[in-house]
């Protein structure tokens, strides 16, 4: 077992195997491929999310529908508590809707068991958070390498170093998170989120802890991620500046969707 995985012993049991579709006939495969190509990358259909609490249940999302295509950069905006993070969690299969459906590359998240959900996240989704959430006992390169090891990808170190180069962090691979600035940590977090070539990148307040100039660098990277790699990027933000770089803005209010504005 690679040294890095030994360091992360708590994650070891979580490694999910890939599924096989060897038995699907050729005709059926092409039919499935055709219908799959016509589907949006991500489809959120009439999603409602109710959190049970000790008091009254919280209706965090009500009948929200959203589609995301490859290469889009969507900003999710709205007041604190309007449901942005909840919606991102649904999109990334971190949590399941109470009703409605989330379909990611043709797979409805509600139809999958825990192991398949883990697999879906690991293969298709990248996450970026306001607080970076790098593992503090690992170096920058090890942080980026980790999802590749968990997904059993080839050449994890080489890919990790290549991603660090892409976010302009070449030469910082041996530093630990506490030896990096906030902006540098967020760039490492972007490299980690893109390490396994996800189809969907979810960013929850990615510039929330950064100054304006550093935030602009991070926004530029998210923009390039959508444009250059064709990744669908959905970003929850309170920042008007962040929303202004998005191609489309989705407004949430008290868990309901408001009119979407096409900006580009
Ligand atoms: N696990 C939970 N249990 C109960 N209620 C929750 C839970 N998570 C979120 N909520 C509630 O759901 C609503 C939506 O929360 P959410 O975190 O999605 O808002 P948000 O738009 O991301 O807010 P912010 O901008 O402050 O991050 C809020 O009323 C929140 O209190
Ligand atoms: Mg939030």
- Cβ-based neighbours of 96, under 8 Å, separated by 6 or more: 90, 102, 109, 110
Write out pLDDT tens, residues 215-254. 999 999 999 999 999 999 999 999 988 999 999 999 999 9
Residue 33: Cβ-neighbour burial (10 angstroms; 0-12, 13-18, 19+): exposed
Q: In this predicted structure, what is the pLDDT of residue 178? A: 98
Please give the full DSSP string across 143-164, using - where no structure is assigned: HHHHHHHHTT-SSHHHHHHHHH
Please give the full DSSP string across 211-257, using - where no structure is assigned: -HHHHHHHHHHHHHHHHHH--EEEEE-S-HHHHHTSSEEEEEETTEE
Mean pLDDT on 155-166: 97
Residue 137: Cβ-neighbour burial (10 angstroms; 0-12, 13-18, 19+): exposed
Average pLDDT, the chain: 88
Query: Could you tell me if 229 and 41 are in contact, meaning their C-beta atoms sit under 8 angstroms apart?
Result: no
- CA-closest residue to ligand 1 atom 16: 83
Which pLDDT band, with edges at 50, 70 and 90, does 106 fall under?
A: very high
- CA–CA distance, 170 with 149 (Å, rounded to integer): 20
Strand, coil or helix: 141: helix
For residue 84 and ligand 1, the question of a CB distance below 6 A is answered with yes
pTM, to two decimals = 0.86
- CA–CA distance, 42 with 232 (Å, rounded to integer): 8
- 43 CA distance to ligand 2 middle (Å): 21
Q: Among residues of the chain, what percentage have pLDDT more than 70?
A: 83
Please give the full DSSP string across 8-27, using - where no structure is assigned: TGGGGGGPPPPP--TTS-HH
Residue 13 has pLDDT above 70, yes or no: no
- In 3D space, the residue among 155, 156, 187 whose CA is nearest the CA of residue 171 turns out to be 187
The ligand 1 atom at the shortest distance from the C-alpha of residue 53 is: 4
Mean pLDDT on 114-142: 96
Which pLDDT band, with edges at 50, 70 and 90, does 20 fall under?
A: very low
- 83 CA distance to ligand 1 middle (Å): 6
For residue 57 and ligand 1, the question of a CB distance below 6 A is answered with no
The ligand 1 atom at the shortest distance from the C-alpha of residue 88 is: 18
For residue 235 and ligand 1, the question of a CB distance below 6 A is answered with no
- 60 CA distance to ligand 1 middle (Å): 6
Between 33 and 202, where is the model more confident? 202
The CB density around residue 72, as the number of other CB atoms within 10 Å, is: 21
For residue 53 and ligand 1, the question of a CB distance below 6 A is answered with yes
* Ramachandran angles phi, psi of 188, nearest 5°: -65, -40
Residue 260 has pLDDT above 90, yes or no: no
Q: In this predicted structure, what is the pLDDT of residue 151? A: 86
- 86 CA distance to ligand 1 middle (Å): 6
Between 259 and 63, where is the model more confident? 63
Report strand pairing: 261-262 vs 256-257: unpaired
Q: In this predicted structure, what is the pLDDT of residue 6? A: 53
Which pLDDT band, with edges at 50, 70 and 90, does 8 fall under?
A: very low
- 98 CA distance to ligand 2 middle (Å): 19
């Amino acid at each position: 077992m690679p040294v890095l995985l030994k360091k992360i012993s708590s994650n070891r049991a979580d490694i999910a195997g890939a599924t096989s579709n060897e038995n699907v006939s050729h005709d059926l495969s092409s039919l499935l491929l055709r219908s799959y190509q016509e589907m949006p990358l991500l489809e959120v259909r009439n999603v409602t999310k109710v959190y049970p609490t000790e008091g009254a249940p919280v209706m965090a999302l009500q009948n929200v529908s959203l589609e995301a295509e490859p290469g889009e950069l969507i900003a999710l905006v709205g007041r604190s508590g309007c449901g942005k993070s909840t919606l991102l969690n649904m999109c990334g299969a971190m949590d399941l809707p109470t009703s409605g459906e989330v379909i990611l590359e043709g797979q409805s998240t509600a139809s999958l068991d825990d192991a398949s959900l883990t697999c879906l996240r690991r293969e298709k989704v990248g996450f970026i958070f306001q607080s970076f959430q790098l593992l503090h006992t690992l170096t920058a390169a090890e942080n980026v390498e980790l999802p590749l090891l968990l997904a059993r990808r080839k050449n994890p170190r080489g890919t990790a170093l290549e991603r660090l180069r892409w976010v302009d962090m070449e030469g910082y691979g041996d530093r630990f998170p506490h030896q990096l600035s906030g902006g540098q940590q967020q760039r490492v977090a972007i490299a980690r989120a893109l390490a396994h070539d996800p189809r969907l990148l979810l960013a929850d307040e990615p510039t929330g802890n950064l100054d304006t100039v550093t935030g602009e660098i991070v926004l530029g990277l998210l923009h390039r991620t959508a444009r250059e790699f064709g990744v669908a990027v959905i970003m929850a933000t309170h920042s008007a500046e962040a929303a202004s770089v998005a191609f489309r803005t989705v407004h949430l209010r008290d868990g309901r969707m408001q009119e979407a504005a096409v900006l580009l």
